[in-house]
Amino acid sequence: MPFKRINRNIRSIKRYRQVLGILIKYGFGHIVEQLNIDYYIELGKKIVTLGTASQDLERLTQAARFRLALEELGPTFIKLGQLLSTRPDIVQTDVLDELKKLQDHLPPVSTDEIMAQIHQELGYPTEELFAHFDTTPLATASIAQVHRGRLKDGEEIVCKVRRPGVEIVIATDIDIMMGLAYLAEKHLPGGDIYDPVGLVREFRRSIHRELDFSREARTTDRFSNNFINEDAAYIPKVFWDYTGQTVLTLEYVDGIKISSNEELIAAGLKPEVIARNGADIFLKQVFIHGLFHADPHPGNLHVLPNNVICIFDFGMVGRLDDDLKLHLTELLLCVLNRDVDRLIMQLLYSGDLHDESKIKDLKRDLTEFIDDYYDILLQDLKIGKLLIDFVRILTEYQIKFPSSLMLLSRSLFAMEGLGKQLDPNFNMVEQLKPFAEQIIKDRHSPANIAKDAARTLQAYQALGKSLPRDIKEFVNRINRNKFKIDLEHRGFERLITDLDRSTNRISFSLVIAALIVGSSLIMQIDKGPMLFGFPILGLLGYSVAGFLGFGLAIAILRSGRM
């Protein structure tokens, strides 16, 4: 079989039928057919019967139908949609807007199941662990639900508990996603450009990290240490004795949601100060610590007295190393300073652009892009939107950026929107420039130059040691006739599939024709068993030929290709 990556256990096959059926229900049957999945699974019958979306669904946009399909497909696909909403490089604007509406809410799990999960993880029943445990959840989501409680020492807490059995559902769905991603890469136009397999791998890594609450607890502690001397930020405390892989217990913090302007003002807080504090905290995460909160929506940001911002939920974070921070900073400064030539040099230096004709076209598009922002006043310039638009241009030229930059684009856009909501005069450019300039200054300091020189010298030293050995191995392989080059053909799988199908139909047709010819000859001979005056063998041959011919006609009609 030419495709062996599809998991074939019964649970997966059943889930395949469900997934493909929902995609067809919402009007994506043409994509399912292009994936050619029936050929690869070889079930002997079609996984689904192709149809069309209902009239009510046809009135919706394709982006809206895609969102609804993800919501019906369940927790794993909702999480995938949330990941896609951070990827403006591969998702169109209308789809991005719809994916932001994804509802990550499910009916709550029964209290008995939640308590059993806590008991299994922490080793004691809830009545021994907590002085009080509220059976009504504060919030429910696809992976976990949150309950309030109180420890024996009187400390108010929130307890985040993973839904029992959700990891099995996610594992099955990721197997299916990976199979569909391989098919999409082979059969859908542009599949190799958008790297669906790489996207699913990134998603698998992300959701596995999110399933491990002890990892989130460590990340929370790390943020707390990063801002331990920061008066404007507060991170809830982790109670490690009540935390594990499926349970996370945090300090309960009562604050005002950052988007509730009227409540903030009524409490004597200053929205304009909160806007500046929020931007300052976020930019410090990015440019100083290299670890930033990647989901800064209002539900995860509450305001405490003295305009202090409390940050929740560190399940989704982004990371930037020193080189990536410098690269990002120089790109932003190039755009802000409208320096197209330096911008192109940065892309050339990063190794993402080589073709001369593409360089000319990219320079033209970047010049037009910067001209579009030329007349916009700095206080009206939206850095988040600018970065997203910039990434989209680079995507057209197949210049790939790390996923952390995509997360940063969305997070920066969200923080900028919150800042404007709090203070119409808020200006992210003024907040960002000092950080960017400091990074450039530090990069060109004598200490950093010496550090880079030492690193380069070490790299050349390692190369000098390994080069003679590598050359010797290369020559030895040639002498032993062991040197070979592996070539991989791509894009022929669908052609091979169609040729196989056509050959099978022709062979089937020849068998039917032979049966008809043979039966006709038998009908001319009045020998053997007779029925109604005709030879039984001839009648039997005609019957078999008719049955097989009818089956072949049905198969051709179902395929949609005459």
- What are the catalytic residues? 295
Under a CB-based contact definition with an 8 Å cutoff, are residues 300 and 313 in contact?
Answer: yes
Number of H helices, E strands in the chain: 24, 13
**Cα–Cα distance for residue pair 107/159, rounded to 1 Å:** 18
Give the number of other Cβ atoms within 10 Å of residue 187's Cβ: 18
For residue 150, count CB atoms less than 10 angstroms from its CB and return exposed for 0-12, middle for 13-18, buried for 19 or more: middle
Q: Which residues neighbour 179 within 8 Å (Cβ) at sequence distance 6 or greater? A: 5, 6, 7, 40
What one-letter code names the amino acid at 544?
Answer: V
End-to-end Cα distance, the chain? 26
Q: Cβ distance 33 to 50 under 8 Å?
A: yes
Q: CA quadruple 208, 210, 214, 219: dihedral positive or negative?
A: positive
Q: How far apart are CA 309 and CA 62, in angstroms?
A: 38
The rounded distance, in Å, linking the Cα atoms of 209 and 480 is: 47
* CA separation for the pair 318, 405 (Å, rounded): 8
Tell me which residue has tokens 């719809």: 98
Tokens of 10: 């019964």
* Pairing of β 317-319 and β 301-304: unpaired
- Which secondary-structure segment (H or E) carries 257? strand 256-257
Identify whether the C-beta of residue 17 lies closer than 8 Å to the C-beta of residue 48: yes
As a whole number of angstroms, the distance between CA 161 and CA 207 comes to 16
Whole-angstrom distance, CA of residue 59 vs CA of residue 64 = 10
Q: How far apart are CA 268 and CA 305, in angstroms?
A: 9
Query: Angle between the 62-73 and 10-25 helix axes, to the nearest 10 degrees?
Result: 150
Nearest by Cα to 238 from 219, 264, 257:
219
Q: Which of 108, 83, 109 is nearest to 95 (CA)?
A: 83
- What secondary structure does DSSP assign to 334-393, as a single string? HHHTT-HHHHHHHHHHTT----HHHHHHHHHHHHHHHHHHHTS-GGG--HHHHHHHHHHH
